Structure 1
Amino acid sequence: MKKSILFLIILIIILQVAHAQEIIEFTDNITVETLEQNNKQRTRNGNWKVTYPGVNRYELGKYVNNNREGKWISYYSNNKIWKIDTYKNGDFQGEFKQYNEKGYLVIKGQYFKGRKAGEWQYYFKVGTLSDIGKYVDGKKQGKWVSYFPNNQSLSKEPRKIIYFKNGKKDGEYISFYANGSVQEKKKYTNDYPVGASYLFHKNGKKSKTIFYDEKGKQIASKNFYESGVLKEKRIFDSIQRVISIETFYATKGLERIKKISYEENNKISKVLEYHKNGELKTKGTQINDKQEGLWESYHKNKELKSKISYVAGKIDGDYKTFYSNGQIEYNGTFARGRKMGKWTLYGGRDYTIIETGHYNEKGKIGQWKYFAKKKHLFKIENYKNGNLDGEYIEYDSYNKGVIRAKGKYVKNKKDGPWIFYDDTGKIIERKRYSMGSFISDK
């Protein structure tokens, strides 16, 4: 039994050491004052307790001739140590430690004449090492290493390595994925990235290259697919605005998808898009990233596919599309992004009219006619402000002039008597509707 009790006592001591919670007592002649009082000028000597109103924290330490001296311990409201500062003649000098409320060490380092010096260690809230490196005269110097949170790094490799000179990044920078493969590599000079910076996919293939000038300004970049094939190229001007973008298909032949060139303070851009075979697909102009003026697109065989006019990003004016043999497909007009006026669709073997009618600002209006492949009338619809409204006649697809159905719509709903015919024109069924609801067979 005694051995068990002794073991528990030893275990408790070990756990206390593991959490690095030091026990420091100030018992003789302690003077107590608030933080506000402590900031006022007065002569202080001996042991003091300074309280932090509103946050329930306090600190204990010694004054010698009005200067803090030796170790000063700050505590949380639960009486666990918050931080340990070491002073000499009122300046930070010596060991520094800081803990979280659970008792885990989060910062450990040294001061010399009031400035950070030597090795400093930073920890995650669970007590595992986060960052480690050195200070000289209060500035980061040399190699600094960052680590993944507990159990995240599968290969126990660092998360990041950075080199410093006089507190500024200077030299190689490298970061890693949790599996140990490189995520990013670049170089710094006087805190600026310079030259080429490389980013990688998790599979080790390059994902991006960024090019910097001597002042750390980005001048160009390249993005890559996971296969390593070039995906995009960008060029920047002296104030970091994009002046050119090229995108590519995910094949090794570097077939271009699109090229955008900017001009006039990046307000105007020229856009070129390409098919996989390298032939031009689309060309046009943008103003403030909105399509403007005439845009043309092409089939893979170089034949014109469409001619469309834009104003401030909305289609406005003539609208024409073409089949790959040059025959017209659609012919119509837009007004501020809406179809207006007469529209006609062509098709079939002879590229004759398939449908034709008119639009107003609310949609289809008036009579619309539809034609079968053999050029004869297939259907007549009547519209009012975008809704089927009025007489409806449907003809047989193969027997010219033979009616198959006849009736009336009101606001997109069948209404009144409807008659249905066979392919010889003989009546086979009669129905009556009321605003879309079937009423009877008579």
Structure 2
Amino acid sequence: MLKLYIFDELFNHNFLFSLMKIKILFAFILAVTLSAQTNSNKDIVTTRFLNGNIKTYGEFVNGVKDGIYQEYYESGNIWKDWNFVDGLEQGTSLWYFEDGTISMRWNYVHGKLEGKSQWYYESGELWSEPVYKNGVQEGFTKTYYKTGELQGIWNYNNGKLNGLSKIFYKDGAIEVERNYKNGKMNGVTKVYYEYKQVALEANYVEDKLDGTSYLYYPDGSIKVIDTYSKGQVTKREKYDYGSRTAKVEESFIEFYGNGFIKSEQNFKNGNLDGSNRYYYDNGFLKSEISYNNGILNGFSENYSEYGILAESIEYIGGKRFGYSNKYNEDGILTMESKYTNDTLHGKWISYFPSGQVEQELEYSHGKIIGVTKTFYSNGNLKSKLEYSNGLKDGYATWYFSNGEVSDYGNYKDNLPNGSFYSYYPNGLIKREAIYEMDKLISETLYNENGEKILLK
């Protein structure tokens, strides 16, 4: 009976164990089958670098990103790790430095950034925590020192800096206070010494210094008072420590980052005055402009980027008076004109590079008058037209380069009026026409032998 009992127990145990294995195997097969059915329409798409390493790896459904999408460095290390649902970013996305340290952590909802994100230093410490709402940076963004102390608080509204933002010393004391409007500095900016005393106080308008700024000694006494206009310092008052008498400066030199001079400007009572020079970043003179109490006065000259004179203009009281000349890239005169009260008045002449006259005009208070002439480069006359009050009025003649007449006619109030003639180079008539205030009345055409071929 004991043997039978043991046999029965063994039989029951083995039977139950086998039954359990069958159930487990069936469950595994079912899970794999269901998984295969679930992912049957999901495609894995990869791209590779030339060295064979994966560049991108992504899961797609019907051509749309759905699931994991990853980008890699050429070294093979992961760069970006996303999750997509129906083509839109969803959930947490991680970006990495090439050594594998997390660079950024983003959170997405239906393809748009949402909530707090984290940006990190390459050494792994938290650097910044920007906040997003519906894909746009909103509210306070905090930045941190590597050692963890708060470095700055930046106030965003609709993706742009707005209102007061602050930068802090490591001990928590304020270092800088800036006011913004629509992403640009507007209003008062203050910079502090570490012991909370104001070091600098300046006013900005649209990101440019404007108005009066103050630089202070550590004890709070004034060191420098600068006056700005649209970003340009126009006056500087310097105070030696303990002195109440200022040394006034109204001439300033500005430099490019490469060390070359950018400008040499002179001011008087806050206005540009005297000769002022501006330079290209390669060191060549760009322009030299003369002012009198902020108003253009005297000769102003503009130069090419290689320092060759390009234009010369004479001003009186802010308006062009006298001669204005233009030059080509070789410094050769190409045009000279004359102005009165900012309006063309007098001779206007253009030149070929050879120095030969190309065109001659006469202006009276901005309007062409008298006979205008154009020339071929060989010096022969090309055209001669009569003008009155800015309009073609009178006889007009055009010439071949050999000096023979090619066309001849009459204008009134800028419109063809009367008889017009055209000629072949051999001198024979080509066309005869009669106009009445731009309306063609009759026309006769001739061949090169002088025979009529069309009569209208």
The two structures have a TM-score, normalised by structure 2, of 0.50
Q: Distance in 2 between matches of 1:262 and 1:105?
A: 42
1:315 aligned residue (378, 396, 416): 416
> Unaligned stretches of 5+ in structure 1?
22-55, 60-72, 87-92, 124-129, 359-442
Deviations 1:185-223 (A, max 9, x none): 122233333332211122332211112347754311111
Map Cα deviations across residues 69-121 of structure 1 (whole Å, 9 max, x no partner).
Answer: xxxx885699x9952579xxxxxx995234799xx996782299xxx973357
| Distance in 2, Cα, partners of 1:336 & 1:280 | 27
- When residues 320 and 12 of structure 1 are mapped into structure 2, their CA distance, relative to the original with a 3 A threshold, is farther
Task: Say if 2:214 and 2:224, in contact at 8 Å, map to a contact too.
Answer: yes
Report whether the alignment pairs 1:183 with 2:286: yes
Deviations 1:396-427 (A, max 9, x none): xxxxxxxxxxxxxxxxxxxxxxxxxxxxxxxx
2: distance between equivalents of 1:277 and 1:76? Answer: 64
- Matching residue of 2:226: 119
Q: How does 1:108-257 map to 2 (within 5 A)?
A: 109-110=213-214, 118-119=225-226, 131-132=232-233, 134-135=235-236, 142-145=250-253, 155-213=258-316, 217-238=320-341, 240-251=343-354, 254-257=355-358
The within-5 A match list for 1:272-283 is 272-283=373-384
| Letter of the structure 2 residue corresponding to residue 330 of structure 1 | R
Given the superposition, is the C-alpha separation of residues 266 and 319 from structure 1 closer, same or farther in structure 2, using an over 3 Å criterion?
Answer: same
Query: Are the equivalent residues in 1 in contact too, given 2:320–2:340 (CA < 8 A)?
Result: no
CA drift of 1:247 comes to 0.7
**Unaligned segments of structure 2, at least 5 residues:** 1-122, 128-143, 155-161, 166-176, 192-197, 217-222, 239-247
Amino acid at match of 2:313: I
| TM-aligned CA deviation for residue 312 of structure 1 | 2.0
C-alpha distance in structure 2 between counterparts of 1:12 and 1:308, whole Å = 88
Q: How many Å apart are 1:309 and its aligned residue?
A: 1.1
Structure 1 residues 75 and 260, CA, compared in 2 at 3 Å: closer, same or farther?
closer
Deviation at 1:142, TM superposition (A): 1.6
Task: Write the mapping of 1:227-376 to structure 2, written as runs, cut at 5 A.
Answer: 227-238=330-341, 240-251=343-354, 254-263=355-364, 266=367, 268-347=369-448, 351-353=449-451, 355-358=453-456
Distance 1:84 1:217 in 2: 41
Asked if the contact 2:299–2:314 (Cα under 8 Å) also holds between the matched residues in 1, the reply is yes
Give, as a single letter, the amino acid of the residue that structure 1 aligns with 2:436.
A
Deviations 1:229-254 (A, max 9, x none): 21111011246333221011122xx1
**Identity fraction in percent:** 17
What is the distance in 1 between the residues matched to 2:305 and 2:265?
20
Q: CA deviation at 1:258?
A: 0.7
2:201 to 92, 96, 119: 96
Q: What is the CA–CA distance in structure 2 between the aligned matches of 1:97 and 1:274, rounded to whole Å?
A: 60
Check conservation: 2:313, 2:320, Cα contact below 8 A: no
Q: In structure 2, do the counterparts of structure 1 residues 217 and 5 end up closer, same or farther at CA, with 3 Å as the change threshold?
A: closer
Aligned to 2:3: none
CA distance in 2, matches of 1:215, 1:4: 60
Question: What is the distance in 2 between the residues matched to 1:175 and 1:156?
Answer: 14
User: Quick check: 1:285–1:291 contact (8 Å CA) kept in 2?
Assistant: yes
CA pair 270-243 structure 1, distance change in 2 beyond 3 A: same
Decide whether the 8 Å contact of 1:318 with 1:333 is kept in 2. yes
State the alpha-carbon separation in 2 of the partners of residues 122 and 9 from structure 1.
36
Which whole-Å deviations, capped at 9, do the CAs of 1:117-163 have from their partners, x for residues lacking one? 7335799xxxxxx64453469xx952245567xxxx6x443443321
For residues 288-321 of structure 1, what are the alpha-carbon distances to aligned partners after superposition, in whole Å with 9 as ceiling and x for unaligned? 4321121112233332222111122221211112
Per the alignment, in what secondary structure is the counterpart of residue 276 of structure 1?
coil
Q: Residues 131 and 342 of structure 1: is their aligned pair in 2 closer, same or farther, counting only changes over 3 Å?
A: closer
Pair 325,95 (structure 1): closer, same or farther in 2 beyond 3 Å: same
- Over aligned residue pairs, what C-alpha RMSD do you find? 4.8
Decide which moves more: 229-238 or 319-328: 319-328
